């Protein structure tokens, strides 16, 4: 058994699958869900994953930059892409983070990105499970 401690647990109730709704136990998340590309309102699981991974990744970048004594620029941004794919073995995901780190030396930026990719919980969760790319752009 691991000696880790739980820092936070998200609790979300989903009804209706891709064409339903999701609401967190604290009420802070309350969204209508929709199938990718379908008309109408609502988000989809791929968009939610893209938002979650990129937000978490920025946090991991902040920790990595602080360890190097570097302040991240306020213009730091991540464009996340999560693709839903279908092949002979069924459905799968692929993901890409395009990291914009203006004003930071590219070599230092890559070091920060690599450290964040090693420590971000989302990056750890998908490692070896889906096609994933993190790129400095």
27-37 pLDDT tens trace: 999 999 999 98
Q: For residues 88 and 77, what is the distance between their CA atoms, to the nearest angstrom? A: 35
Question: Which residues sit opposite 98 in a β-bridge?
Answer: 79, 135
pLDDT at position 1 over 80:
no
**What rounded mean pLDDT belongs to the chain?**
96
User: In percent, how much of the chain has pLDDT > 90?
Assistant: 93
Q: Write the pLDDT tens digit of every residue in 50-99.
A: 999 999 999 999 999 999 999 999 999 999 999 999 999 999 999 999 99
Three-state DSSP class for 110?
A: helix
Does pLDDT of 2 surpass 80?
no
Q: What is the set of domains in the chain, with CATH numbers?
A: 1-43 (2.20.25.10), 45-136 (3.30.300.20)
The whole-number pLDDT of residue 93 equals: 97
Percent of the chain predicted with pLDDT > 70: 99
Q: What does the pLDDT read at residue 62?
A: 98
């Amino acid at each position: 058994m691991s000696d880790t401690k739980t820092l936070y647990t998200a609790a979300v109730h989903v009804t209706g699958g891709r064409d339903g709704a999701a609401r967190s136990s604290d009420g802070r998340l309350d969204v209508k869900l929709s199938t990718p590309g379908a008309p109408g309102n609502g988000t989809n699981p791929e968009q939610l994953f893209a938002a979650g991974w990129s937000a978490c990744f920025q946090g991991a970048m902040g920790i990595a930059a602080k360890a190097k004594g570097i302040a991240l620029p306020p213009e730091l941004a991540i464009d996340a892409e999560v693709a839903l794919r279908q092949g002979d073995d069924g459905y799968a995901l692929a993901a890409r983070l395009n990291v914009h780190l203006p004003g930071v030396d590219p070599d230092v930026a890559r070091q920060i990105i690599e450290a964040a990719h090693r420590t971000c919980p989302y990056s750890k969760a998908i490692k070896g499970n889906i096609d994933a790319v993190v790129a400095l752009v």
